[in-house]
Amino acid sequence: MVVVSVAVSATLLAACGGSGSDGSGSGAQVSGGDQQAATDVPFATGEWDTDFSKSSVDFDEIRSGGPGKDDIPALDDPGFVSVAEADEYLSPREPVAVLERNGTSKAYPIQILTWHEIVNDEIAGEPVAVTFCPLCNSTVAFSREVDGRVLDFGTTGKLRRSDLVMYDGQTESWWQQLTAEAIIGELTGTRLEVLPSQILSWEQFKRAAPDGQVLSRDTGFNRDYGTNPYADYDRPDSEPFLYDKETDDRLPPKERVSAVRTGDESAVVYPFSRLADETIVQDQIKGMPVVVFYDPRVASALDDAEIAQGEETGGAAVFKRKVAGRTLAFESAGDGIFKDLETGSTWNIRGRATDGDLKGEQLKQIPSDDQFWFALAAFFPDAEVRG
């Protein structure tokens, strides 16, 4: 365990190394939290304007990952390129985080997110953030608007239960990435609106959104995009970094899962080991008929030193399987294509009908995250594993 910790600490420090070429939710809910005196804070606070008298977590759970505040720099003014331009540096199986709002589709390559972890962006006029925690393999997108105020997010350099702890630049409150909740500071208890996002292979994004926009490598920072500083980190039975709790033994710690949150500490979980066997899962969550689409041809960003060479681990998304009042049943047609049994229409991995009677229809995507099991179970201990 000590060897693993030292190795991952080195990768975290590497992720913040190198100077830049320039040197450089709506619907939020607020709940009360426990308060601790600022004098109880067991780490240095001199660089922070955070109100440490307000918190909902035990400060002893906050651990330093190695880098300091903003040493892993968020992207605050991201540029985008066309699919054709991005095709020059992205390989077919590489993972990209995909967010679509009001008909605008954007792809955020994990090869870039690995080095920045947070992108503060706007899509179709809506302020959003797309985040990635390599240690939990968790991608979460959310609205940056809280009570009419737009927040900008950065990295604290701290971890809690191995997960990224962010902060907002307006109040310097600290936020848990996996739960999208403020855990320390003025906004403690505030929950951001989580937006439906999806991990796709680059090949599938090109096919689904040929006119989409892609986060540019021209970030203003000198980083070795395309390489993975966390090589071999995603072995399913290996121990997580800076994780002090007992891992939930229902699944291997780093088994990938797709999870739909159903409560503050509950979720419905679909293990990738099941999805790899079935490709498609039809289910109900709280009486709502859902379908899980799975594409096996997505490379891991945490396996090989070159992300493009990573082992295929897949990507999943969850959709409501009702269209125009009709509940559909699906079967896999292979290569990320699915067919409904009622009309024979074909559907892509984004939940859009591409041919047949229902061509042009869109299944409603349900917010879900792909991440390591240990991380999901740490924050959602009442999770129900299906399969």
Distances in Å between the Cα of 165 and the Cα atoms of 245, 317, 348, 352 are 17, 25, 34, 34
Q: Give me the chain's average pLDDT, please.
A: 91
Of the chain, the percentage scoring pLDDT greater than 90 comes to 84
**What average pLDDT score do residues 319-332 get?**
94
Distances in Å between the Cα of 166 and the Cα atoms of 118, 183, 232, 265, 326 are 9, 10, 25, 20, 41
For residue range 218-236, list pLDDT tens digits in order.
999 999 999 999 999 999 9
Tell whether the model's pLDDT for residue 108 goes beyond 70. Answer: yes
Closest CA to 117 of 219, 47, 210: 219
Predicted structure pTM score: 0.91
d(CA 67, CA 50): 18
| pLDDT band, residue 332 (cuts 50/70/90) | very high
The CATH 2.102.10 domain(s) of the chain lie at 256-385
For residue range 258-316, list pLDDT tens digits in order.
999 999 999 999 999 999 999 899 999 999 999 999 999 999 999 999 999 999 999 99
The 10 Å Cβ neighbour count of residue 326 is 11
φ/ψ of 267, rounded to 5, equals -160, 160
Here the tokens at position 143 are 């609205």
| pLDDT band, residue 42 (cuts 50/70/90) | confident
Here the tokens at position 226 are 């395309």
Distances in Å between the Cα of 350 and the Cα atoms of 34, 111, 161, 338, 368 are 41, 21, 31, 10, 13
φ/ψ of 224, rounded to 5, equals -90, 70
The 10 Å Cβ neighbour count of residue 141 is 28
> Span 256-385: which CATH code?
2.102.10
